[in-house]
Amino acid sequence: MNSNQELSGIQKAFPLLTEKNVDMKKEIVAGITTFLTMAYIIAVNPSTLAAAGMDAGALVTGTCLAAAIGCFIMGFMANLPFALASGMGLNAFFAYTVVLKGGVPWETALTAVFVEGIIFLFLTLFKVREAVVNSIPLNMKHAVTAGIGIFIAFLGLKGSGLVVANEATLVSMGALSPTVIFAFIGLFIVGIMDKKGRKGAILAGIAVSSVMAWIYAYMNPEAASALGIYLPDGIFKYQSIKPIAGKVDFAFLAHPKDIGNFFVVVCTFLFVDFFDTVGTLVGVASRANMLDEEGNVPNVGRALLSDSLATMIGALLGVSTVTTYVESSTGVLAGGRTGYTAITVGVLFLVAMFFSPIFIAIPACATAPALIYVGYLMISSMHEIDIHNVTEGLPAFITVISMALTYSIGDGLTIGILSYVIINLLYNLFSKPEDRKHVSAVMIVLGILFLVKLLFL
């Protein structure tokens, strides 16, 4: 094999290497923006999984390392600006439902995550996951984008303190606290800078809100603490991953009565991760105008393969399911278009392993401006939906509102696709043959699976 052929093989394996004329400054800013909006996972994931009896210090390192490797795989293999880390919701299911409520050792729960990754790997290699992504109708893809926009804007409003829980009405408006003020000053900065065409607008909003919050914490630590704002507890810190790494344990196979419970756990991880990832890939790629002429996500097979490998590696490193993050949309809106954005996020996660106190101290009110503003930008995809056609518009509407109101991209996609299949099949049942709409076999199978899930799981 000559050098040209060898280079061609390398480029085929790592399409990022074929990129030319890349605006590296824009890609790096996009990566920093994405990282800062998802850096909360460095604090939240260890706190959540530590409830299962795992070592909190080791979890900080494991969370950062798994995220970095996942981002590198996504960047080099898929050449897409999507970042990965241990998924929210999945980590809570891991700790509170599987381990604490179910009495399953955390080592066995990690094994379930590892098995889930293996199953995903085979589903990806046989292009089952790719077929699911590509089978979603274009109107529904635009709806997923809008739904994610409302969902992450809701996360931002909640993080700012403007939206709070209420037992009588589920949610209500919170008080005009300092966190709300910090968040909206940051939001106004983002909006004004973006309107004037300034680069790094979202990043600037996060930075300004963080500095204001830290100044407030310095001046009034007790009041700030009550609002979840803390000064960085030092600068440098690193802890060994040894207490949690390599703890995947198949010893439960010696007890047949445990296999059934293990299978249910694997299926739950599998289902939630599958459709959270599908929804995120479709929604973020759509908003970035990255869909091809047929409405498909570019390199979707490689993106899903990256997700599968990252999940397996994460389990071996001692953390819950690693998945594609919806916060990637902030980097995409900041101009990220290639794998260099994901690689930048990965590098920052490696740095964060040694400077975790700083990143952990970035408060929710500082990431809120980015989430709210990106939500505003993503909701614009609503105008692409044929809202006046009930068979297309109604399922799209259900998808959009379900993502926010169920607090889950995966559940919103589940309800949306199920409604699409039912509405269109009923329409076909009462229509003339020439007026009937084509509903793909993949969508029908998904509808059946979703119905079974809602009824029995």
Over the stretch 406-428, which tens digit does the pLDDT of each residue have?
Answer: 888 778 888 999 999 999 999 99
164 falls within a domain: yes
Report the pLDDT value the prediction gives residue 88, as an integer from 0 to 100: 79
DSSP H or E stretch at residue 164: strand 163-166
Of the listed ranges 159-168, 332-341, 445-454, the least confidently predicted one is 445-454
113 falls within a domain: yes
C-alpha dist (Å) from residue 448 to 199, 235, 272, 311, 408:
46, 52, 16, 27, 20
219 falls within a domain: yes
Whether residue 296 is predicted with pLDDT greater than 90 in this model: the reply is no
246 falls within a domain: no
Whether residue 355 is predicted with pLDDT greater than 80 in this model: the reply is yes
Residue 322 pairs in a beta bridge with 86
142 falls within a domain: yes
106 falls within a domain: yes
Confidence band of 1 (pLDDT split at 50, 70, 90):
very low
Report the pLDDT value the prediction gives residue 4, as an integer from 0 to 100: 47
Q: What does the pLDDT look like over 119-177, one tens digit per residue?
A: 999 988 998 878 888 888 888 888 888 888 898 899 899 999 999 999 999 999 999 99
404 falls within a domain: yes
27 falls within a domain: yes
Confidence band of 257 (pLDDT split at 50, 70, 90):
low
CB-based burial, 319-333: b 16+ in 10 Å, e otherwise: bbbbbbbbbbbbbbb
Report the pLDDT value the prediction gives residue 2, as an integer from 0 to 100: 47
**Mean pLDDT, range 393-409, rounded to an integer:** 91
Looking at the structure of the chain, the number of domains it has is: 1
Q: What does the pLDDT look like over 199-240, one tens digit per residue?
A: 778 888 988 999 999 999 999 999 999 999 999 888 888 989
Please give the residue range of the domain that contains residue 301: 23-230+254-456
Whether residue 3 is predicted with pLDDT greater than 50 in this model: the reply is no
Whether residue 13 is predicted with pLDDT greater than 70 in this model: the reply is no
Length, in residues, of the chain: 457
Evaluated on CA atoms 100, 106, 110, 111, the torsion sign reads negative
Report the pLDDT value the prediction gives residue 341, as an integer from 0 to 100: 96
Residues of the chain with pLDDT > 70: what percent?
A: 95
Q: Are 147 and 283 in contact (CB under 8 A)?
A: yes
